[in-house]
Amino acid sequence: MSGCSCRLIGILLLLACLPSAAAQQIEAYRNTVDGGYDFWFYQPDDSSQRQPLLVFLHGASLCGNNLEKVRRYGPLHALQMGLEIPSLIVAPQNPGGAWKPERIMRTIQWVEHHYPVDTNRIYVFGMSLGGYGTIDLVGTYPDRIAAAIAMCGGSQLHDFCGLTEVPLWILHGTADRDVPISQSTRIIEAMKRCGDTQRLLFTRLEGVNHGGPARAFYLTTTYEWLFSHRLDTPLRPITPGYAITPADLKGAYGKLRRGNVQLKVKESDATPGDNRTSEKGKQHYYTVKKGDTLGRIARKQKTSIEKLCQLNGLKRTSIIRPGQRLRLP
């Protein structure tokens, strides 16, 4: 066989081994973000239109300095299996130790500076060590994250009240021996002490071990739930009607094996951005500023603390934060 023919066969074999079109749009960034992480980045198309950003935080088994490990499971692997995710995706690699919220945020900010990110639609999705990282990131930057899913993790936070401001879905298996479900219930109890858990969805996965929730990365339900939320939706309500069962996890790969799967994304029915929405008439909202207290807001708006608490599901002792939206009488 001629040398030319051998080269042609080699090229054809190489093309046959290339990943799907979606996977070809995944690019590695190393030593790029000062104070950030190395990461993979996925862009579904070259459009200049602003798009959602999904942040994937992996578990301890993918830590290190070999970025290829980050593609073993999670959204990037789901893309290769045929799940169509209509979002920018950043998948940083943790070299070791706990995820640092500040380093994750620096990586997000770099992506925002270089790509058309819709800053009202930034989402976080992580498991195990990445579940810890998800909770810690959301609690540190509740005014930046539109919604988050944390699976079989825990938290190193000292103040959990920021978590109450963000639509948050926690999933944990009851048979998890690596990170017991008590780590998640500890977070939930701490959130309850802040006085507001109306944006929390907690799923106990009966009989599911530590690795089981990883299959949620291949379910359309999780992405549809995330993408249904916006940061600028008044009161930032959680989108109802979503659930995941152990049976769902067991069947997660089935649909992907039968061909490409598209998400059915519906955004919140609440009107974003304008601070007022109602079916029965206009309702008014106030965006909390630095230095505000419930008493100060009540005086400015000529109402009472009791009324503010009643309308917003708060207690007099609840912590309010800059950027938080409060419904007014």
Give the whole-angstrom CA distance, residue 172 versus residue 213.
7
Beta bridge partners of 90: 41, 55
Query: Residue 147 has what pLDDT?
Result: 98
Give the whole-angstrom CA distance, residue 210 versus residue 4.
52
Beta carbons within 10 angstroms of residue 6's beta carbon: 10
Instruction: Determine the length of the chain.
Output: 329
C-alpha distances in Å from residue 247, one per residue of 15, 149, 163, 216: 37, 19, 29, 11
Query: Residue 265 has what pLDDT?
Result: 65
For 258, counting Cβ atoms within 10 Å of its Cβ (0-12 exposed, 13-18 middle, 19+ buried), the class is exposed
Give the whole-angstrom CA distance, residue 150 versus residue 132.
7
CB 78 within 8 A of CB 85: yes
The dihedral formed by the CA atoms of 298, 272, 135 and 42, expressed in degrees to the nearest 10 = -160
Residue listed under structure tokens 């207290």: 293
Q: Which stretches of the chain drop beneath a pLDDT of 70? A: 1-24, 258-260, 265-283
Query: Residue 254 has what pLDDT?
Result: 80
